[in-house]
Amino acid sequence: MAVYRAKEFGAKADGVTKDTAAIQRAIDICAQNGGGRVLLEDGTFLSGTLYLKSYVYLEIAESALLKASPEIFDYGTDTHHNRYRNETELDRCFLFAQDAEDFGLIGYGMIDGNAESFPNAGDKYRPMMLRLLNCKQFHLEHLRLMNAAAWTTCFLDSEYIWVHGVDIRNEKRYNGDGLDFDGCRHVWISDCHIKGTDDNLCLQSSGQTTEDIHITNCAFTSVCAGIRIGLKSIGDIQNVVISNCTMHGIYREGIKIECTEGGVICDILIENVTMRNVRRPLYFLLNQRFEPDDLGSSVELTAMPKVGKIERIRVSGITAVDEACMSEKQYRFTDDIMGEPKFNGIRVDAAKDHAIRDLILRDVFYHSIGGVKASEIPTEYPEQTENYWPDWSRCAFVDIRRVDGLTLDHVVCDCENEDERVPFLIEECSHVSGTIEVRDK
């Protein structure tokens, strides 16, 4: 494989000079000559938007740092768009590819998104680190992806993606996602560590089916969610396996499935996951949602969607344990409350007359922090149309409603502190087998 060294094309790698043109020239010539590797080594390469090309593997050596420019005018305006309504400030990105194949980002070096140079929120631009549109056969391997100004990665309508051995730390700004896939197929994610301020790993569909997804041997820490399937579910999400993962210090949900924009989420296998200090270990919701002025609605939606389906979800081998720190309120940055004891719980719910079908919970152990007083328990429980309520749990720390075909096999729960909620609620469910075992401390 031919190697093209960026310094041979004029890159200075001094951390001051902008090397955008030199690196892009190396990528373009590499692509024109049939592909190979473009190598960044020995220094800090400061750059604006880089356009990745077919058959070109951009390698950041262990001795190199690829750093995003602090100037927003160094980022292209032709890098597609963020598919969440009213979040146009996330449209720009650092690394971009469209209609490319057999290419990648590899190496043992670091990519730094220079988050400190961009605002933490508001309508000013904050570039994502990586966005792919309609690509295939992409490899992201071994790199350290640090300090993105918004999402770390966004894979759109792409297929055959391998993410292996990547360390992602995105803790300095809102929208601190790790790996986001929308309309993607045939994806393998393994041996990654992800820490951030939003969803660590997200599977969604703005129209095209997301399917054949493999997530294994990963570690997650998040101010928001560990693994999120939905909220964007215009198309279907199916055939997903999550196995052999750990989650630690997640302020909201460990594994979250939300079918709220139509579509079908089905055939999901979750097994062998340990969670420590995760506010809501499991959270599954089927409803309909359209907020035209809200950040959480899809650009593609123009009206309230029909209620979709959640079917054939199997969860086995889950251990979730709270420690003393979970007795405290948790915040994102200074005043954005994310969790407190009354939020704790495993939660499954569906819209009236639209039950979740065929849910299996097997070998689940949940040790909740507890400590909730009667005065904190809601006396009314309206139909949920808003997915971002902070106090999602009702008056139980295991709460299951509207499931047709519920199997409970060795599901055990207890509390660290005395809790005035009932241990569990199972309501409006049909074809139920098994029950939940409640143990004294």
Q: What is the pLDDT of residues 70-124, one digit of tens each?
A: 999 999 999 999 999 889 999 999 999 999 999 999 999 999 999 999 999 888 9
Structure tokens at 103: 């290419």
**pTM, rounded to two decimals:** 0.97
Whether residue 280 is predicted with pLDDT greater than 70 in this model: the reply is yes
Whether residue 3 is predicted with pLDDT greater than 60 in this model: the reply is yes
d(CA 13, CA 67): 10
d(CA 368, CA 346): 10
Q: SS3 breakdown of the chain: % helix, strand, coil, rounded to 5? A: 10, 55, 40
Q: If you average pLDDT over every residue of the chain, what do you get?
A: 94
Any idea which of 155-169, 332-346, 426-440 has the lowest mean pLDDT? 332-346
Q: Which helix (H) or strand (E) holds 32?
A: helix 20-32
Is residue 85 a contact partner of residue 33, using CB atoms and an 8 Å limit? no
Check residue 214 and give its pLDDT.
98
d(CA 259, CA 350): 9
Percent of the chain with pLDDT over 70: 96
Q: Virtual CA dihedral for 7, 10, 12, 13, nearest 10 degrees?
A: -40
d(CA 72, CA 77): 10
Beta bridge partners of 271: 243, 316
Check residue 39 and give its pLDDT.
98
d(CA 200, CA 273): 15
Alpha-carbon distances of 5 from 141, 350, 373, 389, rounded to whole Å: 19, 55, 64, 51
Mean pLDDT (whole number) for 353-371: 97
Residue with more model confidence, 381 or 135: 135
Question: DSSP assignment of 278-307, as one string?
Answer: EEEEEEEEE-----TTSTTSBTT--SPPPP
Check residue 386 and give its pLDDT.
55
Mean pLDDT (whole number) for 52-79: 98
Mean pLDDT (whole number) for 272-289: 95
Taking CA 85 as the corner, what is the angle to CA 70 and CA 344, rounded to the nearest 5 degrees? Answer: 90
Q: Which helix (H) or strand (E) holds 21?
A: helix 20-32
Beta bridge partners of 285: 258, 349
Is residue 279 a contact partner of residue 325, using CB atoms and an 8 Å limit? no
d(CA 415, CA 327): 12
Alpha-carbon distances of 360 from 132, 180, 269, 317, 403, rounded to whole Å: 35, 26, 10, 11, 10
What does the pLDDT look like over 372-425, one tens digit per residue? 988 887 766 666 555 555 455 567 889 999 999 999 999 999 999 999 988 999
Is residue 91 a contact partner of residue 82, using CB atoms and an 8 Å limit? yes
Beta bridge partners of 96: 51, 131
Structure tokens at 111: 């990519």
Mean pLDDT (whole number) for 198-204: 97
Residue with more model confidence, 184 or 292: 184
Residue with more model confidence, 156 or 337: 156
Is residue 375 classed as helix, strand or coil in its secondary structure?
helix
Mean pLDDT (whole number) for 123-127: 94
Q: How confident is the model at residue 36 (pLDDT cuts 50, 70, 90)?
A: very high
What does the pLDDT look like over 156-190, one tens digit per residue? 999 999 999 999 999 999 999 999 999 999 999 99
Whether residue 325 is predicted with pLDDT greater than 60 in this model: the reply is yes
Burial of 415 (0-12, 13-18, 19+ CB in 10 A): buried
> 188-217 as b/e, with b when 16 or more CB fall inside 10 Å?
ebbebbbbbbbbbbbbbbbebbbbbbebbe
Q: Please, what sign has the CA dihedral across residues 322, 325, 327, 329? A: negative
Residue with more model confidence, 353 or 392: 353
Check residue 28 and give its pLDDT.
98
Check residue 302 and give its pLDDT.
85
Is residue 18 a contact partner of residue 49, using CB atoms and an 8 Å limit? no
Mean pLDDT (whole number) for 347-353: 93
Check residue 390 and give its pLDDT.
45
